[in-house]
Each structure stands twice: as structure tokens, then as C-alpha cells.
């Protein structure tokens, strides 16, 4: 099985940028479809972005389209979430997740087999 570890979270001002990383160990990242989710205080965890195994197909939550970019470097066993023009409503704990399913319904949490521990992103206004 794969282990996932997020990093790169922190405090950023509105309009700024952050890059989150998700490092995989135990198995090649290329074996997995990857997703990013987030959970704000008092809210359900929600889908943010997803990327297929070869990195050619991506999708995003509507509210982050044009601001966030998901990518992966399978040679480095790492996935990324570049967050630009961040807003206070982006404040949340961000999680990366890996799905072994060939064609997962990638917006659904139940499709993901492995999760990282999360990294906090706080956007100040």
C-alpha cells in the first residue's frame, strides 16, 4: 500500500500563493489516480481537484478553476496543488488521496483508498 504525506501548508494573505506537495512512499505514485480534498471548520470535506495517472487529465471544483493547478511528477513520487489568488474561503485542512480504481468517480471520497494526514492552509483577509 502507499503512504501519503502532505506539506506546504501555512498562513498566506488573500491574493497570495501556496504550493502543496503530496509525497508518496511504499508504492509508485504512478499506480494511483490522485485527488485533493479540503475540509473547512464546521463543514464537510469537499473535492478540490483530481489528476489521472499520467497527468494528462485534470478536473477542479468550480470555485478554484483558474486559480488552482493540480500536477504530478511520477518520477519524484509527488503530486502538487498550486494555489494562486487564494481567498479567505480557501481556508481549510487540505488532504491528498490516492485511488487504485482504474476510472474512479474522482469527486467522491469513497473512491479513494489512501489518504494523507492533511495540511492546514489559512488565508488571511
Q: Cell numbers 483530481 label which residue?
A: 50
Q: What is the pLDDT of residue 104?
A: 84
The count of C-alpha atoms lying within 13 angstroms of the C-alpha of 105, restricted to the half-sphere facing its C-beta, is 4
The per-residue pLDDT for range 62-104, each reduced to its tens digit, is 999 999 999 999 999 999 999 999 999 999 999 999 999 888 8
Q: How far apart (Å, rounded) are the C-alpha atoms in residues 114 and 60? A: 20
The per-residue pLDDT for range 37-50, each reduced to its tens digit, is 999 999 999 999 99
Amino acid at each position: 500500500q502507499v503512504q501519503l504525506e502532505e506539506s506546504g501548508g501555512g498562513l498566506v494573505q488573500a491574493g497570495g500563493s501556496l504550493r502543496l506537495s503530496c509525497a508518496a512512499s511504499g508504492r509508485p505514485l504512478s499506480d494511483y489516480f490522485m485527488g485533493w480534498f479540503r475540509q473547512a471548520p464546521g463543514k464537510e470535506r469537499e473535492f478540490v481537484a483530481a489528476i489521472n495517472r499520467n497527468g494528462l487529465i485534470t478536473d477542479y471544483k468550480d470555485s478554484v478553476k483558474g486559480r488552482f493547478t493540480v500536477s504530478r511528477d511520477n518520477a519524484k513520487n509527488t503530486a502538487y496543488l498550486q494555489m494562486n489568488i487564494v481567498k479567505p474561503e480557501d481556508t481549510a485542512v487540505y488532504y491528498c488521496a490516492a485511488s487504485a480504481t482504474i476510472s474512479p468517480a474522482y469527486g467522491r471520497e469513497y473512491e479513494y483508498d489512501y489518504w494523507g494526514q492533511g495540511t492546514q492552509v489559512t488565508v488571511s483577509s
